[in-house]
Amino acid sequence: MSDGTPLDLLKQEFPAYAPRPAGAPTALEGIVVADFSHFIAGPLATMFLADMGAQVIKIEPPGRGDELRHYPPVIAPLPAQGGPYVWGNRNKRSVALDPKTPAGLEVARDLVARADVLVENFSTGVMQRFGLDYETCRTINPRLVYCSVSAYGREGGHADRLGMDPVVQAESGFVSMNGYADRLGVRASSAVMDIGTAMMACNAILGALYARTRLGEGQFVEVALYDTAMLMTGWATMQHLFTGLEPQRHGNTSPDTCPSGVFEAQDHAFYINCGNDRIFQRLVTQVLDRPDLAGDPVLASRDGRAARRDELFRILGEEFARQPWQYWQARMRAAQIPCGEVRSIGEAVRSPEARERRIVTWIPHPVTGQLPNIASPIRFQGTPVVDPVAAPTVGQHTDEVLREVLGWSIDRIQDMARRGAFGAARDHPDACE
């Protein structure tokens, strides 16, 4: 790439990734994951496992691969390498495989026999049609942890339904809670249900692997997108069950704490969250120098402040408008008031907090020179996460995996290629796409 492109500029703006200590062990060293999943929830779960040292083999359809590869922006010099795909698929090896062919199914079942974990998130019935359902796979490998990421569960009256993040945001009640009271609720722009489901799936897999060390065998594990969405409504669900009342939309304010919301300094918007009476007292005495507010018997309690929310927000807004954000930030930090400026994504990734935590770094790439990397939030002291390797191209490691993981000869790989296991385009063992 020529100098001055956005990816080239990353090298000037963000630091290079600092390698892990040489020789340090990983948490999941030796674990092999056969990843039949696609899009977000499944692949993100397996990426977490890969970060922890598992060998994740991403099994994709030949040619187009995972559909998420094509979500924009696609990196021009690379085929099928969109930003969303790069975000959720580092540290994996890609095998292009067509399990609808007898040869492809043979390859898939050999991978199942070698794997510790299988992850899939196809529509209900697809893995059965492939001949890779749990009951079949457990006869091949009784120690296999088989994780099925579904939309509404694999059994029952909704098992046939397709599931997408914004749909379950709406169906779970999550959308009804977000936005402002004078209009319909709004979805979260981020795929929060997919991301939450990925976290649940990763946790479930880790629990099943631990159970295997005691029980000696694997098990079927299921995580449903809709179940996760219901969890993601937070304690509002339990509040409804206690009271029978529906949660209302409060915009940027909180129905449970006051004052909590967005305020404007002279130059910048910021958010404060007074989660208890003590924080409110510190806010009005140490930050605002308003002893009259501190001594008001009604404002002394959460319920009293909530009842006078409009009045209190007006007073606070007038006070905060008198000074710039930097002035208030210093005073609130000294007084231990939970607060933060309202940032754009671009501001957030370049913030002092993100830089200190090395959230964004660049990693080398053989084609583009470098790619950005978003750090894993998991920080191990004794078993640090692996050094990030950029997401693979479709089928990049097919031959490598078959030779190294399955011990196949080049002749056998060539035979499988002739029989269509890797798609029609494969005709020799070194072809990766």
- Cα-based distances in Å from 280 to 81, 94, 301, 309: 49, 53, 9, 13
For residue 55 the two structure tokens come to: 């060998």
Q: At what angle do helices 225-232 and 192-215 cross, to 10 degrees?
A: 110
Asked if the model's pLDDT at residue 3 lies above 80, the reply is no
CATH code 3.30.1540.10 region(s) in the chain: 260-349
Tell me the CB-side half-sphere exposure of residue 420, using CA atoms within 13 A: 6
The stretch 375-386 carries a mean pLDDT of: 97
Return the CATH class of domain 260-349: alpha beta
Q: At what angle do helices 41-51 and 192-215 cross, to 10 degrees?
A: 50
CATH architecture of the domain 6-233+359-418 equals 3-Layer(aba) Sandwich (3.40)
Instruction: Provide the residue type at 334 as one letter.
Output: A
Reduced to 3 states (helix: H, G, I; strand: E, B; else coil), residue 118 is: strand
Q: pLDDT (tens digit, 9 = 90+) per residue, 171-208?
A: 999 999 999 999 999 999 999 999 999 999 999 999 99
Reduced to 3 states (helix: H, G, I; strand: E, B; else coil), residue 269 is: strand
Tell me, rounded to whole angstroms, the distance of Cα 381 from its chain centroid: 22
The whole-angstrom separation of Cα 409 and Cα 403 is: 6
- Contact in structure between 175 and 24 (CB atoms under 8 Å): no
Residue 76: band (very low, low, confident or very high) from pLDDT cuts 50, 70, 90: confident
Burial class (CB within 10 angstroms; exposed 0-12, middle 13-18, buried 19+) of 292: exposed
pTM of the complete model:
0.94
- Contact in structure between 347 and 280 (CB atoms under 8 Å): no
Q: Which residue has the higher pLDDT, 416 or 429?
A: 416
Q: What are phi and psi of 149, to 5 degrees?
A: -95, 110
The whole-angstrom separation of Cα 67 and Cα 190 is: 18
The whole-angstrom separation of Cα 102 and Cα 395 is: 19
Beta bridge pairs of residue 117: 33, 145
Reduced to 3 states (helix: H, G, I; strand: E, B; else coil), residue 67 is: helix
Asked if the model's pLDDT at residue 239 lies above 70, the reply is yes
Handedness of CA 227, 232, 233, 234 (dihedral sign): positive
Give the pLDDT of residue 332.
Answer: 98
Asked if the model's pLDDT at residue 366 lies above 60, the reply is yes
Q: At what angle do helices 410-418 and 102-114 cross, to 10 degrees?
A: 140
Mean pLDDT of the chain: 94
Residue 127: band (very low, low, confident or very high) from pLDDT cuts 50, 70, 90: very high
Beta bridge pairs of residue 272: 261, 339
The whole-angstrom separation of Cα 316 and Cα 324 is: 14
DSSP H or E stretch at residue 237: helix 236-243
Reduced to 3 states (helix: H, G, I; strand: E, B; else coil), residue 402 is: helix
Q: CA angle at residue 108 from 104 to 110, to 5 degrees? A: 120
Strands 260-264 and 269-273: antiparallel
Q: What are phi and psi of 339, to 5 degrees?
A: -155, 160
CATH code 3.40.50.10540 region(s) in the chain: 6-233+359-418
- Contact in structure between 90 and 182 (CB atoms under 8 Å): no
